Amino acid sequence: MKILKLITLTAALLMTVSALAQNQNLVGHITDENGEPMPFVNVVLAG
């Protein structure tokens, strides 16, 4: 029974850390070669 509680607690902590790591904001302006803003651009971070 102790092992089950320990596994459950560890899993809950790992899920909490993963959820908190997802809250990152990326702010900036995307422009083309001429410096003009590009509307409706999506940015994908690899990694």
pLDDT of the residue at 23: 65
Q: What is the DSSP string of 15-45?
A: HHHHHHHT--------B-TTS-B-TT-----
Say which residue, 27 or 5, is predicted with more confidence: 5
Q: pLDDT band at 34, cuts 50/70/90?
A: very high
Q: pLDDT band at 35, cuts 50/70/90?
A: very high
Check if the beta carbon of residue 32 is closer than 8 Å to that of residue 38: yes
pTM tops 0.85: no
Check if the beta carbon of residue 43 is closer than 8 Å to that of residue 26: yes
pLDDT-above-90 percentage for the chain: 40
* 31 strand-pairing partners: 37
